[in-house]
Amino acid sequence: MKFLDQAKIYIKAGDGGSGSASFRREKFVEFGGPDGGDGGNGGSIIFESDRNLNTLIDFRYSQHFKAEKGGNGSKKNKTGSGGKDLILKVPLGTQIYEEDNMSLIYDFTKNKEKFLVANGGKGGLGNVRFKSSTNRAPKKKTDGKEGEEFWVWLQLKVIADIGIIGMPNAGKSSLLAALTRAKPKIASYPFTTINPNLGVAYYNNKEITLADIPGLVEGAHKGIGLGDKFLRHIERCKVLLHLIDLTEDDLVNNYKKIKLELNAYDKKMSNKKEIVFFNKSDLLDKNEIEEKLKAFKKRINKKFEIISVFNNNDLQRIKKTLIKNA
C-alpha cells in the first residue's frame, strides 16, 4: 500500500430538512388544525482513529465528503428522518488542521477516538410550531439550516514505541523485517526506504510497535535528501533506536550528524531516550570492531550494543532491550 502522510479534503455536513406546512384533513373534521412536522437534522462529519491504518492514501483519490441531508417534515406532525452521520476513519497519529494548514483542530493520540468536526444543520420547524391562540391556522414553516462545510488538512505523524533512525543504508529496514512481520523494501543502496514502515515485535507475551524512519542526511531539517517530512514522524516515538553501520569509516561523525539534525529540527527530540546499536558486525573481524569502537568511546560517552540482523541471538537480545526501555 502506498504511503501518504498529508491530504487536503473538503467536508460538508448534511443540511437540515425543511419543516412542513400542512393541515389536518379528515372526514367529518371541518376545521382541522396545522399538522406539519419538523424537518430532520442533517448528518454530521465525524473522524475516528484506527490503529490498523497507516496511510492517508485513500484521501488522495477521494477529496470531497458529504453527510446525508435531513428529511423534510410531513403531515400528521411527522418529523423528517435525521441524516446519517459520515464517519471518516484515519490512522492513529492523524492531526486535523484548518485550511491554512497551521491551526490545529484535533490530534488523534488514542485508538478509536472520535471527533465531530462539522455539525449537521438543524431541521426546520413545521407549521404546528407556530399555532397560537391568535393564529389557529398558521401557514408559516421554516427551512432547515445548512450544514457546516470547509476544507481541512490531514497530517499524519506516526505513533510508535520505538523509532529506528540512522543514516541511509544502515540496515534499518532489515532490522524491522527481522524483528517484526513487516515487509519493507530492502536493497543495498541509500534511500531504499522512502516512507516510514511500521511493524510489531513480540517478546515474552509483550508487544512493541517499531517505525522504520527513512534515512536522514546532513541538512535534512532544511529539506535536503528526503527532507524534513520524515523528521516529524520521530516526534511521537517514545524511544529512538539509533542504528549505525559498523563498516563506515567515521562512526563518530556518523552518530553526530543524526543528533545534530534532530536538534536542529526540534531540541526536544535530541533529548529523547536513545538506544545505540552498531550493525553489520558479521562483515568485520573482531579486531576491526574493537579498534573502531575504541575510537568511538573516546569521543562519545554513550552505551551501545553490537549486533547483526542476521544473528537470531542478537535479535532476541534486541527485543529484550527494547521491551525493557519502551
The pLDDT assigned to 180 comes to 87
CATH T-level assignment (fold) for domain 1-156: Spo0b-associated Gtp-binding Protein; Chain: A, (2.70.210)
> Does 74 have pLDDT greater than 80?
yes
CATH 3.40.50.300 given to domain 162-325:
yes
| Gap between the Cα atoms of 259 and 238, Å rounded | 16
> Does 182 have pLDDT greater than 70?
no
Task: Output the pTM of the full model.
Answer: 0.75
Contact residues for 61 (Cβ-Cβ < 8 A; gap 6+): none
For residue 244, the Cα-to-chain-centroid distance in whole angstroms is 28
CA dihedral angle for residue 115, residue 119, residue 123, residue 124, rounded to 10 degrees:
160
The pLDDT assigned to 237 comes to 87
- Set of cell numbers at residue 13: 455536513
List, by residue range, all CATH 3.40.50.300 domains of the chain.
162-325
Grid cell 533512525 — which residue?
165
Average pLDDT on 139-149 reads 97
- Set of cell numbers at residue 191: 534511500
Mean pLDDT of the chain: 87
Instruction: Identify the band that residue 246 occupies on the pLDDT scale cut at 50, 70 and 90.
Output: very high
Determine phi and psi for 269, rounding to 5 degrees. -70, -35
List, by residue range, all CATH 2.70.210.12 domains of the chain.
1-156
Q: What is the DSSP string of 32-54?
A: --B-PPPPPPPPPEEEEEETT--
> Does 72 have pLDDT greater than 50?
yes
By mean pLDDT, which of 107-121, 133-147, 209-223 is the weakest?
A: 209-223
> Does 283 have pLDDT greater than 80?
yes
Average pLDDT on 71-75 reads 96
Asked if 158 contacts 204 with a C-beta cutoff of 8 angstroms, the reply is: no
| Gap between the Cα atoms of 178 and 50, Å rounded | 25
Segment 8-43, tens digit of pLDDT: 999 999 999 999 999 988 776 666 789 999 999 999
For residue 319, the Cα-to-chain-centroid distance in whole angstroms is 26
